[in-house]
């Protein structure tokens, strides 16, 4: 049985186009929706679950029994990532500033709310919103992260990865905008970038991984999911797993361009097993850092391709001298 795909639908990221494409491919009756208790779009199975004790095991069992193959909605990934395999969770990202402007325009256009743009983007609910929906610590676990400005290419890569054929549709295009990104003042841009600094950094790092996914796909090489998670007792630790092969990934530690250590990512990580990240959880690696260096001086890469593994929620504490 093929496990379902979970789509974190971040507002104003081409999610409606993608969701309609999913309806077309899977069949609307096989697509479950969670847009909150008050939304008419939310499926009955989700309403019942939200009104119960929220037993994830029971929800998954009922979800599968009813034949659902796809779950979508404006929810935090954390809501379902422990129920379904993390590697089946997907999303699309958009330039953070453009997305904020687009969501503001959408709200004004559809609700008549006359809140000022500045009041809107200063509201904590809309600051770093993409990052909060995806998860600061969990985005590298996602099976796929695509990008709105490369939507067709993203869709092609996603279909290839999951062996599906969601069609390209272009829906929900606004005809007029109250605020346009290119007309923002220098002061507004500066404040937006300051408020959303975490998300801008996350967006850039996720884009690097997406670009590597394209590069490796074109070279018929395997993309590796993974990250560096901690520096402990003089060792860098993390996890890595290939999307296409079962062999353990060979990870290298580089200082500058020099390879100083390497090992296979085959250590057991209970957390990775619980998340369904592959190889039964035997995906961890641990590399000794011989020199006293800072995080900007080192990188962990996949030995066979050079693909870098991002540092996630990382606390670097240098050893005392």
Per-residue pLDDT of the chain (321 residues; tens, 9 = 90+): 578 999 999 999 988 889 999 999 999 999 999 998 888 999 999 998 888 777 889 999 999 999 999 999 999 999 999 899 899 999 999 999 999 999 999 888 877 777 899 999 999 999 999 999 999 889 999 999 999 999 999 999 999 999 999 999 876 555 545 567 667 899 999 999 999 999 999 999 999 999 999 999 999 999 999 999 988 878 899 999 999 889 999 999 998 888 989 999 999 999 999 998 999 999 999 998 876 566 667 899 999 999 999 998 665 554 443
Fold match flag (5-217 vs 222-309): no
Torsion 73-74-76-77 (CA) sign = positive
Residue among 277, 284, 279 at smallest CA distance from 300 = 284
How far CA 265 is from CA of 163, 179, 213, 225, 268, in Å, comes to: 26, 48, 20, 11, 9
Plot region of 109 (φ>0 → left; ψ -120 to 50 → alpha; else → beta): alpha
Euclidean distance between CA atoms 254 and 260, whole angstroms: 6
Angle among Cα 270, 273, 277 to the nearest 5 degrees reads: 135
User: Does domain 222-309 fall into CATH 3.30.70?
Assistant: no
φ and ψ of 78, to 5 deg: -60, -20
Domain range list for the chain: 5-217, 222-309
Structure token digits, residue 139? 């985005």
Q: What is the pTM of this model?
A: 0.91
Look-up of token digits 């869709």: 155
CATH of domain 5-217: 3.40.50.300
Residue among 166, 163, 161, 164 at smallest CA distance from 144 = 161
The whole-number pLDDT of residue 320 equals: 41
């Amino acid at each position: 049985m093929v496990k379902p795909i979970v789509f974190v639908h971040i507002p104003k990221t081409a999610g409606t186009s993608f969701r309609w494409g999913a309806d077309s491919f899977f069949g609307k009756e096989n697509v479950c929706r969670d847009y909150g208790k008050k939304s008419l779009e939310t499926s009955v199975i989700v309403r019942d679950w939200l009104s119960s004790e929220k037993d994830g095991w029971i929800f998954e069992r009922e979800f599968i029994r009813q034949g659902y193959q796809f779950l979508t909605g404006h929810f935090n990934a954390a809501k379902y990532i422990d129920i379904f395999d993390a590697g089946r969770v997907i999303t699309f990202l958009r330039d953070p500033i453009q997305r904020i402007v687009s969501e503001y325009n959408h709200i004004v256009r559809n609700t008549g709310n006359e809140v000022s743009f500045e009041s809107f983007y200063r509201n904590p609910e809309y600051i770093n919103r993409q990052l909060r929906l995806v998860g600061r610590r969990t985005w590298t676990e996602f099976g796929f992260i695509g990008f709105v400005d490369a939507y067709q290419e993203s869709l092609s890569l996603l279909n290839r990865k999951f062996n599906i054929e969601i069609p390209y549709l272009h829906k929900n295009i606004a005809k007029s905008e109250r605020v346009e990104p290119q007309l923002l003042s220098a002061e507004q841009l500066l404040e937006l970038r300051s408020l959303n600094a975490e998300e801008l950094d996350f967006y850039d790092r996720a884009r690097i991984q997406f670009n590597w996914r394209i590069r490796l796909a074109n070279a018929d090489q395997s993309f590796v999911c993974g990250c560096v998670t901690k520096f402990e007792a003089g060792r860098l630790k993390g996890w890595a797993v290939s999307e296409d092969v079962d062999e353990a990934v060979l990870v290298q530690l580089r200082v500058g361009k020099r390879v100083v250590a390497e090992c296979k990512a085959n250590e057991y990580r209970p957390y990775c097993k619980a998340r369904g990240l592959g190889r039964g959880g035997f995906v961890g690696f641990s590399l000794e850092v011989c020199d006293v260096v800072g995080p900007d001086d080192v990188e962990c890469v996949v030995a066979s391709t050079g693909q870098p593994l991002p540092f996630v929620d990382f606390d670097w504490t240098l050893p005392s001298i």
